[in-house]
Amino acid sequence: ELNAEDAALLVSTCITRNLPPVLSLQSGLHRIKEAVEELQFDASPYSRGMYRFQVAVPPGAKSLNWFWSQLDPSKVFPIFFLSSENRNPTYKTIPLGTTRGIFGVGSAITFKGYIPQVLGKNAASQSYILEESTCPKAYGFVDIEFDEEKSTVKRQSGSVHLFIPQIELDEYEDMSFLVATLAWDNSSFCTHGEALQALQIAYDQGKFAFFFILHYWLLSVLFFESLSGITLWQVYKEFCPVNYFSQACPNINLLWASLMIEECVRLGLTYFCIAPGSRSSPLTLAATSHPLATCIACIDERSLSFHALGYAKGSRKPAVVITSSGTAVSNLLPAVVEASHSFVPLLLLTADRPPELIDVGANQAINQVDHFGTFVRHFVRLPPPTDDISARFVLTTVDYAVLKATSSPQGPVHVNCPFREPLSSSPSEWNHGCISGLEIWMSNTIPFTKSIPLQQSMAHNVCWNMTEVLNLIQGANHGLLVFGSIHKEDDVWAALLLAKHLQWPVAVDIQSGLRLRKYFSSFLCSNDALFIDHIDQLLLSESFRKWMRADVIVQIGSRITGRRISQMIQDSSPCSYVLVDDHPGRHDPSHIVTHRILGPISHFCDNVIDSCNSSLSEEWREAIRGLGMMVALETSLLISSEKKLSEPFVARKIFETLRCGSAVFFGNSMPIRDADMYGTSWVKCTHGSSLPFSAGLPCHFVQVTGNRGASGIDGVISTAVGFSVGCKKRVLLVIGDVSFLHDTNGLALLRQRMPRKPMVILVLNNHGGAIFSQLPVANTTEISVLDQFFYTSHNVSIHNLCLAHSVKHISVRSKMELEDALLTSQREVTDCVVEIESGIEENFSIHSMLRNFLHQASDDALSIVSKLSYRSSTSQADVQYKIAKMEYSLYRVQLNAPPTSTQRNSLTATSRREGFIISIFLEDGTAGFGEVAPLEIHQENLLDVEEQLRFLIHVMEGKTIDRYISLLNYSVSSWIWNSLGIPPGSLFPSLRCGLEMAIITAVANRSGTSLLDILHPSLPAESPSVRVCALIDSYRSPKETALIASNLVQEGFTTIKIKV
């Protein structure tokens, strides 16, 4: 134990070591143990010190779950969980494991004192959690004096008892950090060796308990009162099953319903979506009276079921849907179909008439047996409640139903529940003997039947066919990764690590979570993951389609949005095509999959990372990198250059303004396709400054989803609202107008009170189904038929619909209004609908123009690659060119008139241009030249520029440049930073220009082409000259300027530029 001053001094000596990111919490513990063990063989020469090891782990690592697992009495103190949520957690959120926070084991440093000593004279008695991960953080008690030996506490105003944990897990929005801290001071609390032993004990405590993590709410009573002021133990006593089922159930219907709801809660199903109805009254009463159940209602069963679907998508666990009988059940079908095809678990509890009222003309009675056919994973028809049947039957039926819903292949399960009168809580005698045998179940909060899956890590049990796949990956020369729909955040994390490790080109789908990325740095390193975001545009080129032939394709996640990417995969056949997903669904529409890996995506990625290294052709990889980035730049420039607001511009802009920690839900039809083709992928991360470097990754992902199972346009708003509840993030919904109108009842769900963050709904209103204008039917059909039967053109006021539902509405008609609306709406504390006005004809025109232009841009990019590769051998060494030396020389040119950059009051100055010629010589003697001509307007002069040139001469020698550097967006800037260690912005503009010119010219000359071929690849070979524009300064009178312009036109200039 230290005083505050000594503790602060020790912390100031802390050395933090960032370890490479891992695929699981177990792997993180193992990696930290290896790092700590290195210290055991190297005794520290210092009498005091502090080490901190941290490793980024996937977001699925939950601090609260790890805390719950600490069941056995431990010698390690303290063991704690601290919520980092802005709102106080309640007894509902804590048992669900939805509260994000920090878990800690042990104490590396303990110090106590009083607030003025420890926290400063003006410190308030509050706790803070910093959004930084590189500095040690202390936790503990304020205004409380703690006696460790007696394990007692007493209130002491101004007292502070703080500690830095030995092992801690910090959860952030998109990742978590596992941290181990080692501290020693030979003269006070422990030696270096003793600190290592204490850390090992804390490690064993955390590691042992981790493998016994349980998810049942009662375990959380072992720690502290929730911040709502009510203890979980008090909740349990108030809802003791023994008392409840023996005293509070007035009739057998309510008993069965209560047993079902209680078992659902014990299994972790606590979100109930309830449609109003009489026959379902027992289920509704039981759910709404359960203290741990969260219930929501909607008058429209279709919207309600889609909402449940969205919740399950976001939370990765089933929601429970409760409906009355009759067509109320039929209205669930669209959501059931989507859930079935998307492998999303749902539990449907549908009330029904008893058998004697079926097919006899009774009101609201239909045949509900196997109502959803093959779209559900399991159907069970319960008998009407009776005390002749043991209550154990009810519990085991629910247990099995949930097991079927959550086992592979996951999906909806239908439990049909007929009830006789009474349907209310009216008393009716029942024999309590039917609950005999449930004494143990009633004395705890554990499910009656516990399903325990036995899973063995693929990494430690490699079967022969997996070995075959690993050999294919290892031997690939033209390998390609395809990331399809990936729904679990831990799987997205694993896919990102796989892409970084293999260094294969990645065709990335919008639903993978990696199409839209937030980057930590402005420049990419050569060993970063190689995402080809605009491969859909490249595939417009027939030449590229013929050139792009992979020998091994590994697809992670099943579904693909882009049609041209699917066609590319088909055109690559016959080749080795490996499909990896955790469900057994057959996703092979072209019938070309050669290897099907059924299992967790993270296990597969872990196995490949451990077993394979990239042996890919560097020529193949760098050529694709250049092609992708060149087309990405052309796409960005073209879309941004359009003055009018267009839907492709919206697809780019929404992500630029999206805040870190948010999620996106795309509607079907055009919104998801535009985002997939035109969405921005290079956006600056808004996380705390230390997080990026600590993670060891170039970027982090943005969670993206949609209803792509059956790809319908119905129920999208309702699904997105449910998704926002389940994922606990701010959600941006991008939806078309027809799809919006299809689910206006979903707006009613926005007004209900539920535990979620505000939503933004972006409506692309082109007053009809614009996607049909992109299809062949539009070319052969009369416009009147298209308007009525395909476009379904309309003039419905979205503003009035929002007004009817009391939802804020913003209308957008320009680019500036869009940016303002997106920035404003994401800071709002209420939901908001942003309507973007568009038109079908305008939408068709911009898409056609983009398609034609990017077709040409793709051909040009491939032409440059071909020219750069023309004289190169197949040797991989030729992809990189080594710089032998760099030289420069001064030049001075007399001018006929002062430069236009000269200030007006300096027109009498000497009319000459001075600068330097840079010469870069490659190892084979090839040279490239560039001009450095400082301009007065940039506040640079010859002396300052020459000083930087002298420095560059020394650092350039021996460096290598990529053959395709001229293709890459911002690649020269990245090369200056990564190879020379110089911030590109620190070089004078004229020097940057000359350096880039010399580098690109050298590469062009080395490859047997020219600078002109690279800058203008589509220029006809017979073109006699390069046209240039004339330049006029603005210092003369209008008449003089007009006369000069007229003379220039007569001289043959077709373009004139006026400096203003």
pLDDT tens, position by position, 179-236: 999 988 888 888 888 888 888 888 888 775 543 333 333 333 333 333 333 333 344 4
Please tell me the distance from the alpha carbon of residue 625 to that of residue 621, in angstroms, as a whole number. 6
Please tell me the distance from the alpha carbon of residue 594 to that of residue 573, in angstroms, as a whole number. 10
pLDDT at residue 817, as a whole number:
92
Residues of the chain with CATH 3.40.50.970: 239-442
Please answer whether residues 441 and 391 qualify as being in contact, where contact means their C-beta atoms are separated by less than 8 angstroms: no
Please answer whether residues 101 and 81 qualify as being in contact, where contact means their C-beta atoms are separated by less than 8 angstroms: yes
* Ramachandran area for residue 669 (φ above 0: left; ψ -120 to 50: alpha; else beta): left
In the predicted structure, residue 553 carries a pLDDT above the cut 60: yes
pLDDT tens, position by position, 376-396: 999 999 999 999 999 999 999
Of residues 1018 and 120, more confidence is placed in: 1018
pLDDT tier, 528 (very low <50, low <70, confident <90, very high otherwise): confident
Please tell me the distance from the alpha carbon of residue 46 to that of residue 720, in angstroms, as a whole number. 57
- Residue 700: both structure tokens together: 């982090």
Taking residues 316-338, report their average pLDDT: 96
Q: Containing H/E element for 803? A: helix 798-804
pLDDT at residue 246, as a whole number:
54
Residue whose C-alpha is closest to residue 9's, from 39, 45, 49, 40: 49
pLDDT tens, position by position, 908-937: 555 778 899 999 999 889 999 999 988 766
pLDDT at residue 374, as a whole number:
95
pLDDT tier, 965 (very low <50, low <70, confident <90, very high otherwise): confident
The segment with the largest mean pLDDT, out of 241-255, 605-619, 875-889, is: 605-619
pLDDT at residue 474, as a whole number:
92
Please answer whether residues 437 and 392 qualify as being in contact, where contact means their C-beta atoms are separated by less than 8 angstroms: yes
Q: Which residues contact 26 (CB under 8 A, 6 or more apart)?
A: 210
Please answer whether residues 378 and 401 qualify as being in contact, where contact means their C-beta atoms are separated by less than 8 angstroms: yes
Provide the residue type at 769 as one letter. G
In the predicted structure, residue 142 carries a pLDDT above the cut 80: no
Taking residues 55-82, report their average pLDDT: 79
pLDDT at residue 873, as a whole number:
45
pLDDT at residue 13, as a whole number:
82
Q: Which residues contact 565 (CB under 8 A, 6 or more apart)?
A: 482, 507, 509, 535, 536, 539
pLDDT tier, 492 (very low <50, low <70, confident <90, very high otherwise): very high
pLDDT tens, position by position, 759-780: 999 999 988 887 888 888 888 8
- Residue 252: both structure tokens together: 């057998």
pLDDT tens, position by position, 723-754: 999 998 999 999 999 999 999 999 999 988 77
Q: Which residues contact 124 (CB under 8 A, 6 or more apart)?
A: none
Please tell me the distance from the alpha carbon of residue 274 to that of residue 959, in angstroms, as a whole number. 67
- What percent of the chain shows pLDDT beyond 70? 84
Residues of the chain with CATH 3.30.390.10: 873-1023
Q: Is 45 in a helix, a strand, or coil? A: coil
Please answer whether residues 931 and 920 qualify as being in contact, where contact means their C-beta atoms are separated by less than 8 angstroms: no
CATH of domain 873-1023: 3.30.390.10
pLDDT at residue 778, as a whole number:
81
DSSP label at 790?
I
Please answer whether residues 515 and 676 qualify as being in contact, where contact means their C-beta atoms are separated by less than 8 angstroms: yes
Taking residues 506-524, report their average pLDDT: 83
Residue whose C-alpha is closest to residue 318's, from 380, 283, 284, 269: 269
For 646-774, where are the E strands, in sequence order? 663-666, 683-684, 699-701, 703-706, 731-736, 759-765
CA-angle at 550, arms to 544 and 556, nearest 5°? 110
pLDDT at residue 215, as a whole number:
35
Taking residues 430-437, report their average pLDDT: 89
Q: Which residues contact 807 (CB under 8 A, 6 or more apart)?
A: 747, 750, 751, 831, 832, 833
In the predicted structure, residue 126 carries a pLDDT above the cut 50: no
Of 67-76, 361-370, 877-886, 933-942, where does mean pLDDT reach its minimum?
Answer: 67-76
pLDDT at residue 629, as a whole number:
83
In the predicted structure, residue 870 carries a pLDDT above the cut 70: no
Strands 176-185 and 167-171: antiparallel
In the predicted structure, residue 582 carries a pLDDT above the cut 70: yes
DSSP bridge pairs for 664:
704, 732
pLDDT at residue 726, as a whole number:
92
* Fold assignment, 239-442: Rossmann fold (3.40.50)
Please tell me the distance from the alpha carbon of residue 732 to that of residue 435, in angstroms, as a whole number. 48
Q: How many CB atoms are closer than 10 A to CB 295? A: 17
Sequence-ordered alpha helix ranges (H) in 707-758: 716-727, 737-742, 746-750
pLDDT at residue 244, as a whole number:
55
For 172-268, where are the E strands, in sequence order? 176-185
Please tell me the distance from the alpha carbon of residue 432 to that of residue 429, in angstroms, as a whole number. 9
Of residues 128 and 508, more confidence is placed in: 508
- Residue 590: both structure tokens together: 């072209």
pLDDT at residue 931, as a whole number:
93
pLDDT tens, position by position, 328-377: 999 999 999 999 999 999 999 999 999 999 989 898 899 999 999 999 99
Q: Is 905 in a helix, a strand, or coil? A: helix
pLDDT at residue 220, as a whole number:
32
Taking residues 7-27, report their average pLDDT: 86
The single residue listed with the structure tokens 């991360």 is 685
- What percent of the chain shows pLDDT beyond 90? 38
pLDDT tier, 1019 (very low <50, low <70, confident <90, very high otherwise): low
Q: Is 360 in a helix, a strand, or coil? A: coil
pLDDT tier, 872 (very low <50, low <70, confident <90, very high otherwise): very low
Q: How many CB atoms are closer than 10 A to CB 360? A: 9
In the predicted structure, residue 628 carries a pLDDT above the cut 60: yes
pLDDT at residue 73, as a whole number:
60
CA dist list (Å): 714 to 335, 348, 669, 736: 9, 19, 11, 11
For 419-462, where are the E strands, in sequence order? none
- Residue 393: both structure tokens together: 């039957």
Provide the residue type at 893 as one letter. V
Mean pLDDT rounded to a whole number for the chain: 83
CA dist list (Å): 464 to 471, 600, 607: 11, 18, 13
Taking residues 811-834, report their average pLDDT: 90
Percent of the chain as helix, strand, coil, to the nearest 5: 40, 20, 40
Residue whose C-alpha is closest to residue 613's, from 479, 521, 508: 479
Question: How many Cα atoms sit within 13 Å of 794 on the Cβ side?
Answer: 17
Q: Containing H/E element for 894? A: strand 880-894
Please answer whether residues 761 and 744 qualify as being in contact, where contact means their C-beta atoms are separated by less than 8 angstroms: no
Q: Which value, in Å, is the radius of gyration of the alpha carbons in the chain?
A: 33
pLDDT tier, 313 (very low <50, low <70, confident <90, very high otherwise): very high
pLDDT tens, position by position, 973-1015: 778 877 888 887 888 888 888 998 998 898 888 877 777 777 6
- What b/e string do you get for 35-71 counting C-beta neighbours within 10 Å, with b at 16 or more? bbeebeeeebeeebbbbbbbbbbbbbbbbbbbbbbbe
pLDDT at residue 349, as a whole number:
98
Please tell me the distance from the alpha carbon of residue 942 to that of residue 935, in angstroms, as a whole number. 9
